[in-house]
Amino acid sequence: MKKIMFFFVGISLLLGNVYGATQKKSTSPVKTIQTKRNMVLNQFTRGSIVSGTKGTGSVRRWYLFNEGSVGSSYTMLGKSQYVSVDLGYSTYIRSIESLFGGMSLMAGTEVSVPIYLTVRGKSNILSDNPALETKETQGLIGVGVQLPFMLGLEYKGFYINGLVGYTWLFMKDTYPSTGAGDHPSVQTTYDGLIYGGGLGYKISNVVNIGVRYVRGELTNRKNQTKFDQRAIDQGLEANSITKERGRDIWNVDYQRFYVFLSYIF
């Protein structure tokens, strides 16, 4: 009888050990995966990772940054000059692995929207190049959209980049009135390729202080040049370069220098 009892006790202990070993084996891989995942994620900033692979198959990881910015710019467009308040948005990636000299590669795009508030200079669209009205203007003088591709290098928060892309300008030229009544105005549009560069400094990957310079040769579009009734009555349409030539105005010199402050999120 004692032998039988010892037999059942031994079987119970054996089954208990087997069950315990099975439980350890089934939970251990899960804990290992969770531990490795946490080790990897702890290397990165919150919500900012894109992963990729190199040709060798080894992992290369990138930080993904988004920025919202506000700034100001000074624009030279042909014979006229403008000052604007700018709103912007940027999205780009930066390599975690250093390339040469401890620098990291960065690439992305920067959207900038200048809102033009003041102007001085002369007309680009009238053959006699009259002076623009600078004091008694109504509403916005114009708005633009700049969309360049950006490629650059960053080192310990400092960065330098190159820019190439396209810009559109939707402008309102106002001219002094020759008599009583409102000042005449003309709606006109420019667009073209741009290129340039910039530099800046990122403070703790939270705030970005930057400057940019771009230039190009823009085209003034004939079909988008619209004279209001006051401009027609004052005879400005008769001096329209696009109407006289029957085509767009090409190679209008464009330069823009702007500074901004952005929040990185």
Residues 115-150 pLDDT 10s: 999 999 999 999 999 999 998 887 899 999 999 999
DSSP annotation of 222 reads: G
CA distance 32 to 35: 5
Which of the residue ranges 93-97, 111-115, 201-205, 229-233 would you say has the lowest mean pLDDT?
93-97
As given in the structure block, the two tokens for residue 9 are 């006790």
191: which strand partners? 168, 219
> Which domains can be identified in the chain, with CATH numbers?
65-264 (2.40.160.20)
- For residue 32, what pLDDT is reported? 62
Residue 78's pLDDT band (cuts 50, 70, 90): very high
- For residue 31, what pLDDT is reported? 62
- For residue 132, what pLDDT is reported? 96
Residue 34's pLDDT band (cuts 50, 70, 90): low
Alpha helices for 194-257 (secondary structure H) = 229-233, 241-245
Environment class of residue 20 by beta-carbon count within 10 Å: exposed (0-12), middle (13-18) or buried (19+)?
exposed
- For residue 24, what pLDDT is reported? 44
- For residue 33, what pLDDT is reported? 53
CB atoms < 10 A from the CB of 8, how many?
Answer: 9
Separation of CA 235 from chain center: 42
Nearest to 242 by CA among 175, 190, 184: 190
Longest dimension (CA), the chain: 127
| pLDDT above 70: percentage of residues in the chain | 77
Helix (H, G, I), strand (E, B) or coil at 129: coil
Res. 171: pLDDT tops 70? yes
Residue 59's pLDDT band (cuts 50, 70, 90): low
Q: What is the mean pLDDT of residues 27-49?
A: 52
CA distance 86 to 69: 8
Residue bearing the bigger pLDDT, 200 or 46: 200
Res. 4: pLDDT tops 60? no
Q: What is the mean pLDDT of residues 86-115?
A: 91
Q: What is the mean pLDDT of residues 149-155?
A: 96
Helix (H, G, I), strand (E, B) or coil at 38: helix
Q: What is the mean pLDDT of residues 13-19?
A: 46
As given in the structure block, the two tokens for residue 117 are 């508030």
- For residue 138, what pLDDT is reported? 77
- For residue 229, what pLDDT is reported? 95
Mean pLDDT of the chain: 84
CA distance 141 to 138: 8
CB atoms < 10 A from the CB of 201, how many?
Answer: 13
Q: What is the mean pLDDT of residues 45-69?
A: 63
| pLDDT above 90: percentage of residues in the chain | 68
∠ CA 243-123-119, rounded to 5°: 140
∠ CA 80-248-122, rounded to 5°: 15
Res. 45: pLDDT tops 60? no
